[in-house]
Structure 1
Amino acid sequence: MRNVLIAAIALSTGVLSSSAVMADEGQWQPYQMPSIADKLSERGIDIPAEQLADLTRYPMNAVVGLGYCTASFVSPQGLVVTNHHCAYRAIQYNSKKEHNYLADGFLATSKDKEPTAGPNERLYITEAVTNVSTQVKQDIGNDPLLRYENIQANRKALIKECESDDNYRCSVRSFHNGLEYYLIKQLIIRDVRLVYAPPESAGAFGGDIDNYEYPRHSADFTFLRAYVGKDGKPAVFNKDNVPYQPKSYLKINADGVKAGDGVFVAGYPGSTSRYRLTSELKFASDWLYPTLATRFQLRIDTIEAMSAANNEVKIKYAGKLAGMANRMKKYNGLLDGFKATDIAGIKQGRENDFKAWLAKDKTYQSFQTQFDELETLLVEQRKQRQTRYYFENAQSSALLATANKLYRLAKEKAKPDAEREEGYQERDMKMFKARLKRLDSSFAVSVDKTLWLQDLEAYLNQDIRVSELDTALNEGDVEASLSEKLDGLYALTSLTDKEKRLAWMDADAKAFETSADPFIRLAVSLYDKNMSGEKAAKTLAGKLSMARPDYMKAVIAYYKSNNWPVYPDANGTLRITYGMVDGYQSKDALYKQPFTRLEGIPAKHTGVEPFNAPAKLLKAIEEQRYGSHKVATVYQDPASWLCRLFSCLDKPEQFNSVPVNFLSSVDTTGGNSGSPVFNGKGELVGLNFDSTYEAITKDWFFNPTITRAVHVDIRYILWMMDEVDHAQNLIEELDLVRN
């Protein structure tokens, strides 16, 4: 209750400054850490800020990306830990009728029993981040389309130079909406293997019902391993490859953390919208999120119904279903959050204050014109989004999407490599081919056709139509239903055959244009319309590349004048965020304690999915086989500085169990899943895996009183490894330390 009181006092009486209330906000670029060294110190984070800014030193060189999640090295033999839901594709890839690792879990008792995680799985180790703003913006001009194309050309030139070594993947990312650009250089590990995963009934205990909720009791962790060739260089999967030896690996603190402890998280957050305008938030709230949520719910219901009667379909679509359910709950959480807290009103108030500041500040008075221009462009952007929404969904079939990409590849291959669209250059061909190969593992004709039919019917029941698509849908037997016509397309295509699908990568455009394959024909007929839409989007992006950076210059100056934290919106690049282990006052007036315990699992267990905990887990809890992982208390000592500052109303509670999940005030979002949670010494104490429901709106606005991230406690992971799954071979690899 202490920290809620502090926040409440701060907000209501102004006892704490605005900067103190917002102290934990920020998804900071590593190079920024020295500038907030005092804030880190206040939180009890003792590791030097300069060390965190250095990507070549511990612990940052042990943090890796998966391309969609975060992970970290935890042994000198390339052992990697991440979330169970981040490794879902790897577990699914290895699940068959005869051994369903999703349901049963998996443990390789020796390295030779570790299977490939799949042809698409990669680990990305960020080695360098370089400011290349000047190079990207050089000679780009003011014509919108040419400006966009020149920015892309400059980006691709930098990437090509950076990727002179095939073992590296480089990218140029926009920061502060095009105000800055950074070149990211990452080593690619191409041979990733599955090592240890608990059953889904433990790894996703509570399923979608508990998603974004708290208290939680999820074993959301999985171990992978990185392999390389015998020469130590990255290589594709080969049985003769050897474990990768990382430059460093994380020390694991087996004593974990207690309430009030400072923590920090390093990872790859996907995207936030905190600098977006109020009009953009209202569009998302009024049209975008409700529209997306409606479609996702229909697709979820369809896949669940079709999976119930077919276990093979269930396995193939498990990953997609989990991803859609997660996004669905996030959309609902955002909509509920917008209603519960007037975030639009808060942002509008800040925007009005910003405009008043603009009018008074001589340096930025002229930026009002750019602000007005930006609002005009955003109206155009919204119209584009709404106009193309149903047409783009009408191409949602996995086979049509594949045909579209293959025909686009044939067109792009006729150009010099430097002029090709990103995704179709020579550097992209390995992943392009891997995706084509992997299609079979997550595709069933019956499901694909049903989902596509739903999107086509939605398209036909609205007014914004595309003649090319209408013509294609009206071909053939006029008496046949749309469903019957789709049956014909699936029956006649060869794209369901992996080898024939791969062969299209070598075909020229003429081969596509003379093909009788119905999905190829449809892709060809829609190509020009898709390209015209892409051109319009690029032209608009070129206009926005002039308006947004100027707006951001003024916004950053305004933030600094208020002593507010200034960091870029998340964009999938490596960031650090800090905070403290802390509960919160929930929307239902209940104080959510920062830790959950093992006993909560049998209390929730019903034996019915998603509350069907594994029998061996329940037995270990029943027998209280807690071993050295049991702790007496995880709560803040009354003698702490918090209690000296504010009288504590509660006493340390005796815990006498193994902590399962815990809360902290770190600033995270999607992409931070699997991120290591560090104590003040830089030792691993948990894995980030979720946020609380009340905190979902933090993508738009950070509210320090209710924003909490949810983590798997390292003590629970070690207990599962020790007492439940007997993964002694892996425990021996770990560098365990004690307080």
Structure 2
Amino acid sequence: MRNALISAVVLSSGVVLASIDAHADEGQWQPYQMPSIAEKLSERGIEIPAKQLADLTQYPMNAVVGLGYCTASFVSPQGLVVTNHHCAYRAIQYNSKKEHNYIADGFLAKSKDAEPSAGPNERLYITEAVTDVSKAVTDNLSQDPLVRYEEIQSNRKSLIKECESDKNYRCSVRSFHNGLEYYLIKQLIIRDVRLVYAPPKSVGSFGGDVDNYEYPRHSGDFTFLRAYVGKDGQPAAFAEDNIPFTPKSYLKINADGVNAGDGVFVAGYPGSTSRYRLTSELQFASDWLYPTLASRYQLRIDTIKAMGNADGEVAIKYAGTLASMANRMKKYNGLLDGFRATDITGIKQNREDNFLKWLTADKTYQSYQAQFDQLESLLDKKRTGMQSRHYFENAQSSALLAAANKLYRLSKEKAKPDSEREEGYQERDMKMFKARLKRIDSSFDISVDKTLWLQDLNAYMGQDNRVNAFDAMLNFDDKTVTLSDKLDGLYSLTSLTDQDKRLAWMQADAKTFETSADPFIRLAVALYDSNMAQEKEKKTLLGELSQARPGYMKAIIAYNKANGWPVYPDANGTLRITYGMVDGYQSRDALYKQPFTRLEGIAAKHTGVEPFNAPKKVLDAIAAQRYGTHKVDSVIKDPSSWICRLFSCLDKPEAFNSVPVNFLSSVDTTGGNSGSPVFNGKGELVGLNFDSTYEAITKDWFFNPTITRAVHVDFRYILWMMDEVDHADNLIAELELVRN
């Protein structure tokens, strides 16, 4: 009866909270755009001035940092950083051994001298400046597609080189609106990152793959790191006598959190969305790309799990890889389910048809019709190329072959002036190149690598797009020796499993590679011409697309503006802001999902078997109702308000009576936003973004405000874990806690 009533309220109100307009809360906005949406922010109850959010030198934006694949934020003047547990998984894995498995047991450094390195590859990136360089990148480009592509890259590299005159900065030039605009991003690099506090996996990933993208959730997906620098205050590589970094600002944490209906915003580094892609691109993803990728990931997941169950050392080494694959796998399945449940292809086709009618009618943009037709033709060519290359690229998936390929390519690139080298092979890239080669040891096992590679080779042999050089080197036609035995020979004879010898190849010239007897090096040399030919095809196509896509985007932007729709670039890994409100939603099973979950939900889900195996100390604290100062009586500001009708406070407005664990909001996020700080209207930290609901996965292609919800760790739960469970008093003392 209660659910029926809630559903009725939601439906009769036109989904009151979520559907203020057709594009409510949509947008992954560049910070400079915030003043243009100041009115919308104010409507959501966000009090911090939009002009302040646009300024990367001011609080809170100068406290938001990137990890290169996730987001984090400074929360103390001593360089303490908070992010998601799954974002710090590599750091936890790096420090885990059989004798101290921090993945299973968690980790807490009670003093700074007990904080270990998060690993040689871990970095923090602080965005200090974003500059429009569109003219410098795109002026006077050749009409020849390949030359045009190379000119764009050359212009980008010149800007990057000038920007990186200070070695402490990492710069990049990113394309926005599919090549219509380019921005130069300048980021300070912190090279010494250390592990400070991580809950066990049974907290940080409570519910595991089963609960991934699901709701209600009860995940403590948080971890604390710390940034260190040299004694002079400048970024430096790990050294025992380095000191904590002093950030320009750090986030205040509101210990009272948020309530249902409160406005919130999120800042972070969303990875990739496809909202401006054509319907044909969505159809291809739905029909071929996602099913093909999902099938391969599932096979690899099953294999790693089985081998990890048989060998604990393998389980530790591949824990991060497995978690990443499982997350992608569920996302692909969610996308496919979403495409089936909602006719997103039909919706996009309808919008595209309307756009084309407008294009034909508007004299200003009629000339773009030819570019649109050309774009469709190029996209068809792109799809054909992806399908023909897919199995050959996968057939090179061995970690050792991938390393050999990169090392031989490096020897070729080093023969060129640095400015002419391919990105990834310039002098600026060598520290990270070396770190990646080192990191192989922490996530590599010969038996696993061989088994996964064998699966990809069998798939390659079962299709028609074969490469002669590859077939000849592995002699697939020789049936007297099994492919498995052939691979055993490669692994037994290579020296690339030795880190020192692997690193030594960075100094070798091309001739040394070409005369080597190492089987993986020989294979890389044999495949080089084929790989380069395919790369040239891709670059030529990208050059053609760099002419067709910007014109299409100009017309799309004009069309959206004419309709009063939001105009923001697709996500591309750069700093963005999105806003919304704390809000539940009507799920696909017709139940209304309330926006907050409680501690008691952990105990209710607990089975003692992974992934629902909450630690005893957590269960004991819940059973004893040791809430401390973190208990919340109600998540509704005004129990007499109409908003209360949407929640279980219908009869008892004070009934929450627990510590909030996770909560939902309508902010517009995607991969890369993991670890992003969730702010209240005053710009105070109230949570960490870590997931989306299953129904919302398709938002990468189409934003539906009715069901699009992001899932956050409530900071009141983090504080409860620190205070009542793990007694991280030293860290709590560093935080600046405020109350309403």
One fold, TM greater than 0.5? yes
Structure-2 separation of matches of 1:582 and 1:279: 33
Change (3 A) 1:253 1:32: same
Corresponding residue number in structure 2 for 1:147 = 148
Structure-2 separation of matches of 1:395 and 1:629: 52
Given that 1:228 and 1:243 are in contact with CA atoms closer than 8 Å, whether structure 2 keeps it comes out as yes
Structure-2 separation of matches of 1:676 and 1:247: 17
Shift of 1:7: 7.2
Deviations 1:483-528 (A, max 9, x none): 0000000000000000000000000000000000000000000000
Cα RMSD between the aligned structures?
Answer: 1.9
Corresponding residue number in structure 2 for 1:222 = 223
Query: 3-state SS of the aligned residue for 1:363?
Result: helix
Structure-2 separation of matches of 1:582 and 1:263: 10
Matched, 1:77 2:78: yes
Matched, 1:734 2:735: yes
Q: How does 1:414-425 map to 2 (within 5 A)?
A: 414-425=415-426
Equivalent position amino acid for 1:303 in 2: I
Corresponding residue number in structure 2 for 1:660 = 661
Change (3 A) 1:532 1:8: farther
Change (3 A) 1:427 1:697: same
Structure-2 separation of matches of 1:288 and 1:690: 23
Corresponding residue number in structure 2 for 1:100 = 101
Given that 1:585 and 1:706 are in contact with CA atoms closer than 8 Å, whether structure 2 keeps it comes out as yes
Runs of 4+ aligned residues of structure 1 deviating over 4 Å after TM superposition are: 1-12, 15-19, 475-478, 638-645, 648-651
Deviations 1:150-208 (A, max 9, x none): 00000000000000000000000000000000000000000000000000011000000
Equivalent position amino acid for 1:57 in 2: Q
Given that 1:93 and 1:117 are in contact with CA atoms closer than 8 Å, whether structure 2 keeps it comes out as yes
TM-score, normalised to structure 2, is 0.97
Deviations 1:56-76 (A, max 9, x none): 000000000000000000000
Query: 3-state SS of the aligned residue for 2:438?
Result: helix
Equivalent position amino acid for 2:501 in 1: K
Corresponding residue number in structure 2 for 1:498 = 499
Change (3 A) 1:91 1:535: same
Shift of 1:463: 1.2
Equivalent position amino acid for 2:335 in 1: L
Corresponding residue number in structure 2 for 1:183 = 184
Corresponding residue number in structure 2 for 1:234 = 235
Equivalent position amino acid for 1:318 in 2: A
Query: 3-state SS of the aligned residue for 1:166?
Result: coil
Structure-2 separation of matches of 1:654 and 1:208: 30
Size of the aligned set, in residue pairs, is 736
Q: How does 1:505-544 map to 2 (within 5 A)?
A: 505-544=506-545
Change (3 A) 1:736 1:484: same
Structure-2 separation of matches of 1:649 and 1:138: 62
Shift of 1:22: 1.3
Structure-1 separation of matches of 2:265 and 2:651: 26
Corresponding residue number in structure 2 for 1:486 = 487
Corresponding residue number in structure 1 for 2:327 = 326
Structure-2 separation of matches of 1:392 and 1:579: 41
Shift of 1:651: 6.6
Equivalent position amino acid for 1:52 in 2: L
Change (3 A) 1:446 1:36: same
Q: How does 1:259-408 map to 2 (within 5 A)?
A: 259-408=260-409
Corresponding residue number in structure 2 for 1:554 = 555
Structure-2 separation of matches of 1:643 and 1:360: 48
Query: 3-state SS of the aligned residue for 2:364?
Result: coil
State the percentage of identical aligned residues.
Answer: 80
Change (3 A) 1:638 1:155: same
Structure-2 separation of matches of 1:178 and 1:387: 26
Structure-2 separation of matches of 1:651 and 1:30: 41
Matched, 1:65 2:66: yes
Structure-2 separation of matches of 1:532 and 1:476: 24
Corresponding residue number in structure 1 for 2:616 = 615
Corresponding residue number in structure 2 for 1:451 = 452
Given that 2:18 and 2:706 are in contact with CA atoms closer than 8 Å, whether structure 1 keeps it comes out as no
Corresponding residue number in structure 2 for 1:249 = 250
Equivalent position amino acid for 1:694 in 2: E
Corresponding residue number in structure 1 for 2:34 = 33
Identify unmatched segments of 5+ residues in structure 1: none
Given that 2:286 and 2:339 are in contact with CA atoms closer than 8 Å, whether structure 1 keeps it comes out as yes
Structure-2 separation of matches of 1:644 and 1:361: 47
Structure-2 separation of matches of 1:302 and 1:632: 47
Corresponding residue number in structure 1 for 2:171 = 170
Structure-2 separation of matches of 1:66 and 1:668: 17
Corresponding residue number in structure 2 for 1:472 = 473
Given that 1:4 and 1:584 are in contact with CA atoms closer than 8 Å, whether structure 2 keeps it comes out as no
Structure-2 separation of matches of 1:619 and 1:19: 43
Deviations 1:385-419 (A, max 9, x none): 00000000000000000000000000000000000
Structure-1 separation of matches of 2:465 and 2:377: 22
Equivalent position amino acid for 2:687 in 1: G
Query: 3-state SS of the aligned residue for 2:580?
Result: strand
Query: 3-state SS of the aligned residue for 2:363?
Result: coil
Structure-2 separation of matches of 1:400 and 1:586: 45
Structure-2 separation of matches of 1:486 and 1:209: 35
Equivalent position amino acid for 1:593 in 2: Q
Equivalent position amino acid for 1:125 in 2: I
Corresponding residue number in structure 2 for 1:136 = 137
Given that 1:636 and 1:652 are in contact with CA atoms closer than 8 Å, whether structure 2 keeps it comes out as no
